[in-house]
Amino acid sequence: MSRKPKKGYYVRGQFVAEGSELDLQLKAELKGTDEASRTDLKKESDALQKLGESLLTLRADLLNGLQLPDKLVEAVAEAKRITNFEGKRRQLQFVGKLMRKLEAQTVQAIKAALETQQKGSASEKERLHVIETWRDRLIDNDEALAVWMTTFPETDSQQLRALIRQARKDGPGLTQAQISEGLAPRQSRAYRELFQLIKAQLNEPSPDNESADEGPEEEIND
């Protein structure tokens, strides 16, 4: 009497009987691969969703330079306009849906634009720090005036001296420790105008230095 053939399949020329240990192992591996694929797709989808939300913070010039589909541009503009929490959440989901339809090169272009904006923000923050350091140094130290005039001889010295004198009259500045405790720094008119004067001079190319930014920083660090 012939034996009834077992049900199964072949893998790389090897017969695998259904219900066998090898069958269960292969099915477990296959299931794991499917789960991994679904996990990867979910991660990619979430990343595109967040990237789409980041478009709301992108500068107009950088956004326009991306040449995104009109539907996505309109969706981003609408998301900016909406103030209702639930309405904004739904609109951002729509933005994410449109993001998932973009070509890979467009996605990379968006990432590059956001990186460009971030670098610009960091550079501006560093520049403001240089201006603030010069301002405080001019107010707190008489010798700083001579250093400034040597570095920026085109500065109106009378205006600069007047602003420094007035800023000093308006009251002593707060220490960094006091500011960190939540106390407001001095914000007199002379204090603000001195900041603007320094900013204007740093924006002008210096004939004696390759960069106006590098000159003040070198002097300050001495």
Residue for token pair 């001579």:
146
The fold of 121-221 is Diphtheria Toxin Repressor; domain 2 (1.10.60)
**% of the chain with per-residue pLDDT over 90:** 29
pLDDT band of residue 206 (cuts 50, 70, 90) is: very low
Distance separating alpha carbons of residues 125 and 8, to the nearest angstrom? 68
36-55 confidence digits (pLDDT tens) = 466 777 888 899 999 999 99
Residue 180: predicted pLDDT: 55
Element (H, E) at 166: helix 157-169
- Domain 10-102 and domain 121-221, same fold? Reply is yes
How do the domains of the chain map onto residue ranges?
Answer: 10-102, 121-221
Examine the pLDDT at 190 and tell me if it is beyond 80: yes
DSSP-H helix ranges across 7-103 = 21-54, 60-65, 70-81, 85-99
pLDDT, the chain, mean: 79
The residues near 186 (Cβ < 8 Å, ≥ 6 apart) are 167, 170, 171, 172, 173, 174
Q: Tens digit of pLDDT for each residue in 108-163?
A: 999 999 988 888 777 778 888 888 899 989 988 889 998 999 888 999 989 999 99
> Percent of the chain at pLDDT above 70?
74
| Topology, domain 10-102 | Diphtheria Toxin Repressor; domain 2 (1.10.60)
Helix H or strand E encompassing 10: strand 8-11
Q: Which pLDDT value is given to residue 70?
A: 94
Reduced to 3 states (helix: H, G, I; strand: E, B; else coil), residue 9 is strand
